[in-house]
Amino acid sequence: MNLFFFGSSGRQLFGAYHAPPASVPTRGAALLCPPWGLEYLVSHRIFRRLAVRLSEAGYHVLRFDYYGTGDSAGERDEGDLTSWESDANTAADELRDMSGMATFATIGVRLGAVVAWRVATRRSDVHTTLLWDPVVQGTSYVREMVAAQQEIDRWLVVPVKKQRSPEGTHNVLGFPLTAAMRTTIEAITPEAFETPTRANVKVFNSDDASGSSDLYRALHAAGTPFHAETIAGQTPWREDEAIGASGLSVLVLERMVEVLR
């Protein structure tokens, strides 16, 4: 595993590159697109494990942090879904450069799945896009996040200080949700998944939430062939909110590796 910084000097991004062992035939390359906020913290261990498993299976894998998140440059309140997509494109170029592979898969979780999807629809070098619990309706996602924060606030004996500035920024599960973030996230609708893509689409859902049927309908409407499966009991995104930890979702990880083999 090679940890490194890449991108321009004004927009330095952090990456972790996992090359396959020399003893394993190379199968391809994969770009992992992380979610945002608490879900980013919760999924870090999962992403590392997935990267290790994929590299053992012959994949060149790049994990990375968007600008303003993780180890990348920038502040927590900088960036939005549009800029994260741009960062993913930068990371994709880096992955191609490092691996020497002409095509690659994008793999994303939650908001990261939206990023992975967009990269797959706008580039011709993505052969597969694998979406895990994608956010299909941005307004519902924001509403759920805000409600989760309100539930936490309700139990606070001493109320947490309300933010005074900047206008329109709200603390959501420990991360500032800016107006720009909110606008770009709330713009996510099922129709966004009607955009055609040349990539093979594979969807993993932790449960049969209403969002998944909307997603399938959109993919059907666009005539996009896809593979979908539900693996129950593996929803780590809201676990252990207080400590930012989670289980490893081994079943899903192993299925992803199998599907990409």
Partner 1 sequence: MLSLRERVVRFGPGDGLAGIITTRREPGSEALPCVVIINAGIIHRVGPNRLYVDLARTIALLGFTVLRFDLAGLGDSAAMRGTMSLDESALHDVQQAFAFLAASRGATRFLVVGLCSGANYGIQTAFMEPRVDAVLAIDPSVARTRRSTIVHFARRLKHMATMREFIAFRHPIFRRTLGDRRSMAAAQAAAGQSERRVEIAAATTASLANVTTELNRTMDRGMRLMLVFTGGVNHMYNYQKQLFDLLPDVDFRDLLTLRYMPETDHTVSDLDSRRELMADVTAWLMMVFTEARHPAEQGLALVPSERRS
Report the interface residues with partner 1, using CB under 8 A: 1, 3-5, 9-10, 12, 16, 38, 41, 44-45, 48, 69-71, 73-77, 154-161, 163-165, 169, 171, 174-176, 242-245
Tell me how far, at minimum, the Cβ of 224 lies from partner 1, in Å.
Answer: 35
Give the distance from CA 25 to its chain's centroid. Answer: 27
* Ramachandran sector of residue 174 (left: φ over 0; alpha: ψ -120 to 50; beta: rest): left
Tell me how far, at minimum, the Cβ of 47 lies from partner 1, in Å.
Answer: 11
Sign of CA dihedral 108, 113, 115, 120: positive
Tell me how far, at minimum, the Cβ of 10 lies from partner 1, in Å.
Answer: 7
9 vs 196 by CB, closer to partner 1: 9
The rounded distance, in Å, linking the Cα atoms of 164 and 197 is 43
CA atoms within 13 A on the CB side of 91: 35
The rounded distance, in Å, linking the Cα atoms of 217 and 208 is 14
Tell me how far, at minimum, the Cβ of 126 lies from partner 1, in Å.
Answer: 26
34 vs 211 by CB, closer to partner 1: 34
CA atoms within 13 A on the CB side of 78: 12
The count of residues in the chain is 261
73 vs 148 by CB, closer to partner 1: 73
Tell me how far, at minimum, the Cβ of 187 lies from partner 1, in Å.
Answer: 24
